[in-house]
Structure 1
Amino acid sequence: MGKTYHDIETHSWEEVRRRHEDKLPGQLAYLGENSDFYQRKFSEWDVDVESVSTIEEFQEIPFTTKDDQRRNQADPPEEQPLGTHQAVPTEELSRTISSSGTTGKPTYFGLTKSDRRSWNEVMKRSFYCAGIDPDDTVIFGSGQTMITGGTPYFEALTELGANVVPAGGESTERLLSVMTDLPGDALITTTSHHRYLTERIPELGFELDELSITKLVGGGGPGIGNPEIRSELYEQWGANLVREGMGMGDVIGCMWSECEFEDGMHYHGQGHAHVELIDTETGENVPFEVGSKGELVYTPLEREATPLLRFKSGDYARVTGVNCQCGRTSPKIRCIGRADDMVIYKGMNVFPSAIRDVVSGVEGAMGHTKVIVPTEDKVHFEAPIPIEAVLDPETDRDEAAVEDDIVDAVRTQLKVRVRPQLVDFSEIELSEYKTEQVIVRK
């Protein structure tokens, strides 16, 4: 059994749910008193917050969506620059950050001093679980300080006790210079930036396994959970651990991360945010059981600045475990895609990231795949789904054979037919800081 940062991580999940059930009425009362947005919504929904005392009753409350947030911030009152769900005066805000804006106009989130303490507590649990020790030197590779994975991350890492080197935001050459001048134990950045550096640094004449980095922690989208990608990072960097984490600024910056078994991310928001798994189509709750799939929904339990209620994250996950030898008792998940990226093939839900993961295991193909959607509103497919896959420049296999194997592998593993087109690696731009697109709408 491994070490945990806080003993609540070993409490039974049912005990955690009971604790959340005790806290939910207080948060609902706070929303009813301080959030103009939820005051209006409770009236529209005919919800009497004083009558909600159980999780089952709580689950009858409608969801809040990203579009609700954007509408809130489209033309906000002067005294509420973060929107009508801003529940404290602006002078009480301690930090304002934003989303990356990769799925639409950026949204902004506020944190009070109390909110920051909650975030730091949860993120310290997450980073500790992911293998970051208080005596580590952490090379922090993200350069976007305003986003969730920027300033909040290196604040929490610093509170954990780590020596944080905020080296992101400049060229690969500059980052490499920092990693050689200031030898670090861990590199934390987005998954695709890890992969970008894996491709780019050897081009500069350096061998990755000659660097002092032995721990790679990534986030920002699905990727490290793919065995091919994880193995590539282990091999190229000579790493001792390769783990992923996940969170969101709407709720808590990082609240999921992998332990030493690297078979799914544990939840670390116990006592600070309630998490649900729902069927995206029906909205019904799905139990956290091994093999269950659904969209993650969150409710902060003590957020003051910009609190949300039953917020649909858009992250579609599969439960990989409910008990772990590491001693943690929270569910473990693998994020397998974005609910809004889902396409439908002959009535079956398909995630582009799942297609990418299958293609990456085909000999002669690399793990950079895009699903090509011919029109913006195209969701349903009866004919094979068009994809672009990257031909491995070192393969001696015939392109037609690689394409045939891609078709067979996707059909066998996902029960879906695709129409692959192989392209050269130079035709696929791999973003430095954000997970590469896996769906392209024409």
Structure 2
Amino acid sequence: MTTTSREYWNEQLETLPWTEVERWQAERIAPAIAKIRARSAMYQEMFADVPGEVKVLRFADLAGLPFTMKDHIRAAQDAATDERPLGDNQAAPLKSIVQALSSSGTTGKPLYYGLTARDCEVFSDAIANTWFTAGVRADDVVAHLVGLPMVAGGLPYADGFRRLGATLAWLGGFPTDRILREMRRLRCTALLATTSFGLYLSEQWDTVGQETGIPSRLGKVLCGGEPGLNQRDIRDRITGGLNVSHLREVMGLGDVISGMWAECERHEGMHFNAQKYVAIELIDPDSGDVQPWREGGTGEIVYTTFDREATPMVRYRSRDHALVVGIGCSCGRTSPRIRCIGRTDDMLIYKGMNVFPAALRDLISSKFAGQVQPMLRVWKETKDQVRFDDPISVDVEAVDNLSGDSAETLRREIEAEVRSQLQIRIRVMVLEPKSIPKSVYKTSLVAVRNG
């Protein structure tokens, strides 16, 4: 069993029994919602049928409020004016907003969010808490490899590292070969990247950078932004390729706070680290009913910000589906621990059966480890296609070049395994190694043939 030094960023809240955390949050939610209602035109409209005083005497009272959906945010943004460029959910005057953030736009038109000076403090503190849980310390030199400053994982992540006291080496945006060389020259001890880019770097680690003559100091790797680290093959490839043992999964949501979840040294699910500023619920994605945080439970994560000035969120449906690994931990933290198993935005339906592309990837990469690479590509005929009556086209990448007969055997075996385990049919194309492109930011598992 891994021992722990029991260090915390916010010991009082991180170690408080979870029911007590929810009670503490409930005391702050009602006054926060009163302010939101007064300042946000979007929430004034959404709460029109809610009684004059929003009573959140107990945490469970949150369930009496309506959900905020991404479509609400889009509609609010479409009402932007010169005075309110962030639209009807801009709850602070423009002169108080010091930063704008953008979603990545990978699932549609980008959404924009604002931060006041107070919001920046909240973000940086919560994200520093997340990095601390993931094992980063003030004496680390961190290679920050997200290249876009305006996205959730850009400047806010950098602010979190600085808040922690670590040395920020923002190398994102440079060509990969330069990143690998500069990491050695700067003696980087830690690295932050998306899961897919971390996987790509692990394949390049031994071919670039050694000519500097400086041995690698890398010891800690943080990856997130997309599901995948629950797969042993992906973890092994990253740790083996980068020659590290310290690999932690992290997750956040720019709409709420960019970094909120992180694995501790036990590597058994991500802890929630933003309890000082954000409340979380788990709901049934179909009925919307609140589910208990219990080991083995699954559901969609819902967030409520009770310390957010510029663009607040009340019961915001993240579309992230999670498996609850446990409650509490031997590390002393009491928050729920989760694995993200997929996003509603990515879900496909084959003859009535729901399937996440990540579930396809996880099954194939685990069952056929050593034969296929852990990344794959699922094809849709059009951008809006969700339903499939014919087998879903899936590209997999072989580890080695295969003969025609070997590739055909592998194809049949994968199709049969998926049909047996997931009750859906797929049509597999076995590609040569390095055929599936990888991005320096997020690599989507889904591609569209016809725009």
- When normalised by structure 2's length, the TM-score is 0.92
Aligned to 1:270: 275
Aligned to 2:82: 78
Unaligned stretches of 5+ residues in structure 2: none
Bigger shift: 201-210 or 389-398?
201-210
Relative to 1, partners in 2 of residues 1:204 and 1:108: Cα closer, same or farther, differing over 3 Å? same
Aligned to 2:60: 56
Match for 1:298 among 287, 300, 303?
Answer: 303
Aligned to 1:131: 135
Relative to 1, partners in 2 of residues 1:172 and 1:80: Cα closer, same or farther, differing over 3 Å? same
Residue-by-residue CA offset, 1:4-40 (whole Å, 9 max, x unaligned) = 2211111111011111111110111011211111112
Distance in 2, Cα, partners of 1:66 & 1:134:
36
The 5 A counterparts of 1:80-229 are 80-204=84-208, 206=210, 211-229=216-234
Relative to 1, partners in 2 of residues 1:226 and 1:210: Cα closer, same or farther, differing over 3 Å? farther
Bigger shift: 427-436 or 373-382?
373-382
Question: Is the CA contact (8 Å cut-off) linking 1:137 and 1:163 kept in structure 2?
Answer: yes
The amino acid of 1:186's aligned partner reads A
Match for 2:312 among 295, 307, 316?
Answer: 307
The amino acid of 1:192's aligned partner reads S
Relative to 1, partners in 2 of residues 1:415 and 1:289: Cα closer, same or farther, differing over 3 Å? farther
Residue-by-residue CA offset, 1:355-379 (whole Å, 9 max, x unaligned) = 0111112042111212223344443
Aligned to 2:249: 244
Distance in 2, Cα, partners of 1:426 & 1:87:
47
The amino acid of 2:110's aligned partner reads P
Secondary structure in 2 matching 1:419? strand
Match for 2:375 among 363, 368, 373?
Answer: 368
Question: Is the CA contact (8 Å cut-off) linking 1:201 and 1:207 kept in structure 2?
Answer: no
Question: Is the CA contact (8 Å cut-off) linking 2:76 and 2:87 kept in structure 1?
Answer: yes
Question: Is the CA contact (8 Å cut-off) linking 1:352 and 1:439 kept in structure 2?
Answer: no
Question: Is the CA contact (8 Å cut-off) linking 1:366 and 1:389 kept in structure 2?
Answer: yes
Secondary structure in 2 matching 1:19? helix
Question: Is the CA contact (8 Å cut-off) linking 1:19 and 1:271 kept in structure 2?
Answer: no
Secondary structure in 2 matching 1:76? coil
Bigger shift: 247-256 or 112-121?
112-121
Residue-by-residue CA offset, 1:127-181 (whole Å, 9 max, x unaligned) = 0111101111111111111111111111111111111111111111221221121
Aligned to 1:399: 407
Match for 2:442 among 422, 434, 441?
Answer: 434
Distance in 2, Cα, partners of 1:25 & 1:302:
11
Identity across the alignment (%): 38
Question: Is the CA contact (8 Å cut-off) linking 1:111 and 1:305 kept in structure 2?
Answer: yes
Match for 1:350 among 333, 349, 355?
Answer: 355
Question: Is the CA contact (8 Å cut-off) linking 1:277 and 1:285 kept in structure 2?
Answer: yes
Distance in 2, Cα, partners of 1:5 & 1:305:
25
Distance in 2, Cα, partners of 1:255 & 1:160:
15
Question: Is the CA contact (8 Å cut-off) linking 2:382 and 2:448 kept in structure 1?
Answer: no
Relative to 1, partners in 2 of residues 1:49 and 1:415: Cα closer, same or farther, differing over 3 Å? farther
